[in-house]
Amino acid sequence: MQFKIQNYYTNDDKMFLVVESIIVAICMLIPCILIWVDCDQEIRGSISKYVNMCDSHIFGLMFGIAGTAFILNGALYFKAEDDEKLNPSIKSNYTIDETLYNKKKIGKWYNLVFGIALIGVAVFHYNRTDLSMYLHYASAIIFFAGSAVVMFFIHDPQDRFYSRTLAVGSLVCLAIGLFSDEYLSLFWAESIALWLVAIYYLVENRRIWVQN
């Protein structure tokens, strides 16, 4: 079975595919890598607490890569919009419908915000000072709550059921982890939420990859 990139999905199909694939991989791997490299054999209470592990630079590295990938993804949307201003005929070449096209234009903003939020999670320690704690949790809330909002409202109409299920599932898991950790620790709640975000981007990538 061969795959090819569908023509005219965006101005930069290959780059979009590469960047969104990096986002998927990082979201999938962050919890697994943190567990693997941690000197402590017990799983910590939350992803944030892995900043205290012996190789804490890996924590910063993972979130730095993830944040940079989101920011780059947003920058690609800005580039696509600039290309359309220089050459308005580009839009007429798109094979995607108007709803998905408009979603792409919105993507420049939420990807930038999510990227900055992920970097904020790494930069600001969760319990070092009051200011650092507030900024850390604000960054985490922006990313997880914002991702749920994007998944719920911004999607191809054909994917409405899947996207909204992912959004509700992520919020339910986070709520259980925050308020009833005897059933699901915050670490696993955050991990599941990250994996659901990754699945959302996989669904998006499906619009680029087509089977022959």
Tell me the C-alpha distance between 200 and 163, whole Å: 7
* 138 DSSP 8-state letter: H
pLDDT of residue 144: 97
Query: Does an H or E element contain 34, and which?
Result: helix 13-37
**Residues 170, 197 contacting (CB under 8 angstroms):** yes
Provide the β-strand partners of residue 5: 209
Range of the domain at 46: 3-211
pLDDT of residue 87: 58
- The secondary structure of 79-114 as a DSSP string is HHHHHHHH-GGGGGG--S-HHHHHHHHHHHHHHHHH
146 dihedral zone (left: phi>0; alpha: psi -120 to 50; beta): alpha
Report the half-sphere exposure of 184 (CA within 13 A, side-chain side): 16
Q: Where does the pLDDT of residue 212 fall: very low under 50, low under 70, confident under 90, or very high at 90 and above?
A: very low
Q: Where does the pLDDT of residue 209 fall: very low under 50, low under 70, confident under 90, or very high at 90 and above?
A: low
Q: Helix (H, G, I), strand (E, B), or coil: what is residue 210?
A: strand
Digit-coded pLDDT (tens) for 44-87:
999 999 999 999 999 999 999 999 989 988 887 776 665 555 55
Residue 68 CB contacts under 8 Å (≥ 6 apart), including other chains: 115, 119
pLDDT over 60 (residue 102): no
Top-confidence range, 3-7, 104-108, 189-193 = 189-193
CA-closest candidate to residue 120, choices 131, 108, 106, 107: 131
Tell me the C-alpha distance between 165 and 150, whole Å: 12
| Tally of domains in the chain | 1
Top-confidence range, 13-17, 76-80, 83-87, 169-173 = 169-173
Which tokens in the block code for residue 101?
Answer: 């096209």
Instruction: Give mean pLDDT, residues 147-152.
Output: 92
Digit-coded pLDDT (tens) for 32-44:
999 999 988 899 9
Tell me the C-alpha distance between 197 and 114, whole Å: 12
- Long-range contacts of range 34-38, CB-CB < 8 Å, 24 or more positions apart? 34/58, 34/59, 34/62
Q: Where does the pLDDT of residue 166 fall: very low under 50, low under 70, confident under 90, or very high at 90 and above?
A: very high
pLDDT over 60 (residue 95): no
Instruction: Give mean pLDDT, residues 166-189.
Output: 93
